[in-house]
Every structure is written in C-alpha cells, then in structure tokens.
Structure 1
Amino acid sequence: MNVLKRLFKIGQAETNSAIDKLEDPIKMIEQGLRDMHENQDRALKALAEVKAMHIRRSRELKESISQEEDLQNKSVLLLKKAQTGELDKTEADNFVKENLRRKAKLSQEIKLITEDVSNLEKQVASLEQNVNRIKAGIKQWENELGTLRARIKVSSATQKINKQMTNMDSTSVVSMLERMKDKVIQDEALAEAYGEMAESSITHEEKLKKALEDISVEDELAQMKRNMGLSDSKEQSENT
C-alpha cells in the first residue's frame, strides 16, 4: 500500500527520481494491485471463518440460556409440587439442588460464551472494516493507474510534438512555404504550357486534314466531268 502511495505522488521530486530508476513502473504498480487482491481474498476468508465462529457461539449461547431457563422453570415446578404434596419435599429439594448446580455451571458457561460472542463481534467488525478499506484502496489505485496510463500517453505524445517543434524554427517554416509556393507556380505554368501545345497540335492536324480533303474532292469532281463529256467552265475560259 505504501509503495503504491509513493508511486502515485507524481508531483514529488523524490518520487519522480524513484520512478525514473524503475524499468517499468506500470508493471510494478500492477503487481502491487495483484498483491492487494490477494490480501483482500485472505481477509475475506478470515472474515468468513470468524463469522462462522460467531454464528456457532451465538447458537451455543442461545441454547445455554434456554437450558438455564428450563432448569429454573423445572425447579420452580418441583417446589410447587412439593408444596401441594404431589412430591416429597426432601426428594423435591434434592432435585432442585441438582438443577441449581447444573444451572450454576451453565451460568459460568454462559458468561464465557457471552465474552466469546462479544469478542467475535468485535473481530467481525474489524475484519469487515479492513476488507472495505482494502476494496476502497484497490478501486482508488485502479482508477489512479488508469489516469496514470492516460497521463503517460499524453506526456509521451506531447514530448514528441514539442521535440519536433524545437527542431523547426520560424525561418525554416517560412523557407519551406516559399519553396512550396514556387513549386506550385512552376507546376501550374508547366500544365498551362502542355495545354497550349496540345491545342496547337490538334489545330494544325485538323487544318492539314481539311486541306487534303478539299484537294481530293476537286480532283474527283473534275474527273467525273471529263468522264461524262462535260466541259468545265474554268477549263473553257482557260482554253479561250
């Protein structure tokens, strides 16, 4: 319990120093919690045993008290019978004396059993308090361990980020941004140039194709007219 308390006081310098020397403080704390669970199991077993003893002695006390009352009632009944003549007085007195001796012995036993029951009640209360304290401690340390795990993760991530930030000053950031801007401008200009080249190439090819198509159509038209014996007005004007 004390080891766990020292480990969870992260804010203290001596605790930090102790934890830094540990190879794995989380595993050590987990082992401490396992030990606490074992202590809880032992405490619960002891509590059950003491409760069983308390129950048994309480029953014995109840039975002894009942026997004592029974002897008292029988003694009274014997004296009444002797008084009414139903029983010889000497015989009745002897029976009553024997009952009183047994009653005296029972009274001593009742006194001892009563003390045992009282002590057992105190032990049960003490053990129940210890068990509840261990349960509360385990719950608290498990919650603390969960918080500690989260804090370690956050701390580790923060350290990595801060380390990266320390390696990157404002000058380097500005320089990096300028280089990125230059590259983007260059890529945009290059894309535009490729677009113009593609448009120019397509236009030239279309013009050439159209010119070839026009020449082919004129030749074919002239040949058809010659085959039909038709004179071309353009040829006649040239001949005259």
Structure 2
Amino acid sequence: MNIFKRLYTIGKAEINSVLENFEDPIKLTENGISDMKNQLSESMEALAKLKALSIRKKNEIESEEQTAKDYYTKAILLVQKSDKGEIEVSEADRLAKEALKKQSIAQESVENLKKENEKLQDDCEKMQANINNLKSSISKWENELRTLEARVQVSEATKDINQKMTQIDSSSAVSMLEKLKEKVVQQEAMAEAYSDISKAGKSVDEEIDDLVKNIDGEAENALQKLKESLKKG
C-alpha cells in the first residue's frame, strides 16, 4: 500500500492539491488495489510461515512431554529394581535422581514451548484479522472502481455532448430552418402554378368533351335511379 502511505505522509492541504492534479483517478485506484493485493499475498505467505512454526512447536511439545514421561517412568523402574534387590540402593537412587532431573528439564522445556506456541497462535490470529481486513478492503475498492469507471464514462459522454452543443450557432441553425421552410413554400407554390398552367393549356374541344362527359354521367345516374323506382313500384 505504498501509494496510500505516501499520501498519509503529506499534509491535508498538500493532499487536496495532489488529488486535484490527478489526471487519471481510475489508474490511481487500480494501483492502490494492486498494492493491497501485493500486501495480501505477502500477508498470506507470512501467515503460512507462522502456522508452520506453530505446527513444529506442537510437535516439539509432544516430543518433550513424552521425554518427561519416559524419564519419570525410568526413575520409578529404578526404585522398583532397588526394592527388589536387583540394583544397589545407592546406585538406584543416584540414577533415579538423574532421571528426575532430566524429567524436570524436559517438563520446563514443555512449558517454554507452550508459551512460544501461544505467542505464535496470537500472531496468527492477528495476521488472519489483517488478511480479512485486506480482503474486505480489496472487495470494497474493486466495487468502487467499477462505479468510478461508469461515472467517468458518463461524465466524458456528457462533456462531449456539451462541447458539441457549445459549438453549434443557434442563430445559424434558426436561419437554416427558415430557409428550408421558405423552400418548401416555394415548391408548393410552383406545384400549384404548374397545375393552373396545365388547365389553361386545354383546347376548346377538350373543354367541351369534359363537360359532355360530365353530362353523360349525370344522365346515366338519373336513368339508373328511374329504373330502380319503376321496379319498386
């Protein structure tokens, strides 16, 4: 977490200045997450070493406990042999005392090893807590990164749109629309004019034929109505 450590070492005013000058907040966040992941990896490795030491201490404790039991058993056997007359009393007592001394030393070693192992287990718990906090922080900042990326995309798109809007001359746009409207009106007027011209260009005979056709049509309709009335009557 070198980036964060560097930030914490400078004053608040300087932090604000630095933050204002960051050109790529996404890259900075990615670097921070990368630092935390590196520290997580180192912490996991350290935890594995601590647990390995703790396992070795447990094995040593069991071995020393067995040694203490063996020496105590040997001291008992020596006294028993002495009672049976198999060994001289003085010799049995001497050797039994030595066995009990070794049993005491082994038992003392057991107690020391237990204390060392308790310290190792305490260190393991603290390291595990740090690892859990790092995992939680990494998860949090990865979510923050996704949110930040989305916000940057939106802000860049908004900036681009606003920039383009500022480049548009509203007066020229209105002028262009007025010209288009005028062109449409002109086209409509031209179409109506051509229609009048086409009508004016008909000959007298064409006009007569048009009227006659209309009359014939009206007479035909009247005849059909008459026939229908006669059928009903």
TM-score (norm. length: structure 1) = 0.63
Amino acid at match of 1:30: E
Residue 114 (structure 2) aligns with: 114
Measure, in 1, the Cα distance between the counterparts of 2:181 and 2:2. 60
In our comparison, the structure showing a higher alpha carbon Rg is: 1
* Alpha-carbon separation, structure 1, partners of 2:80 and 2:22: 85
Deviation at 1:172, TM superposition (A): 7.8
Tell me, yes or no, if the aligned pair for 2:36 and 2:138 is still in contact at 8 Å.
yes
Unaligned stretches of 5+ in structure 1? 8-13, 197-240
Change (3 A) 1:179 1:87: farther
The equivalent of 2:105 in structure 1 is 105
In structure 2, stretches of 5+ residues that fail to align are 8-13, 196-233
Whether the 8 Å CA contact 2:82–2:92 is kept in 1: the answer is yes
What SS class does the counterpart of residue 146 from structure 1 fall into?
helix
Give the corresponding residue for 1:80. 80
Identity of aligned residues (%): 39
Q: Which amino acid aligns with 2:76?
A: V
Q: What CA distance in whole angstroms lies between the structure 2 residues aligned with 1:96 and 1:188?
A: 130
Task: Give the drift of 1:160.
Answer: 3.1
SS at match of 2:23: coil
| Change over 3 Å in CA distance of 1:115–1:185 after alignment to 2 | farther
How far apart in 2 are the matches of 1:4 and 1:183?
Answer: 66
Residue number in structure 2 paired with 1:139:
139
Contact 1:4 1:29 in 2 (8 A): no
Q: Output the CA distance in 1 between the equivalents of 2:96 and 2:186.
A: 125
Counterparts of 2:173 and 2:99 in 1: how far apart (Å)?
A: 106
Structural RMSD (CA): 3.9
Q: What amino acid does structure 2 have at the position aligned with 1:161?
A: I
Q: Contact 1:4 / 1:141 at 8 angstroms: preserved in 2?
A: no
Question: Matched residue of 2:152: which SS?
Answer: helix
CA–CA distance in structure 1, aligned partners of residues 53 and 140 of structure 2: 32
Q: Distance in 2 between matches of 1:159 and 1:4?
A: 30
| Distance change >3 Å, CA 158–CA 31, structure 1 → 2 | same
- Deviation of residue 64 (structure 1)? 0.2
Q: Say if 1:40 and 1:131, in contact at 8 Å, map to a contact too.
A: yes
CA deviations over 1:65-118 (Å, ceiling 9, x no partner)? 111111112222332333344443323212211111111211222222111111
Distance 1:171 1:105, change over 3 A: same
Alignment length, in residue pairs?
196
Does the aligned pair in 1 maintain the 2:37–2:138 contact within 8 Å? yes
Q: Which amino acid aligns with 2:128?
A: E
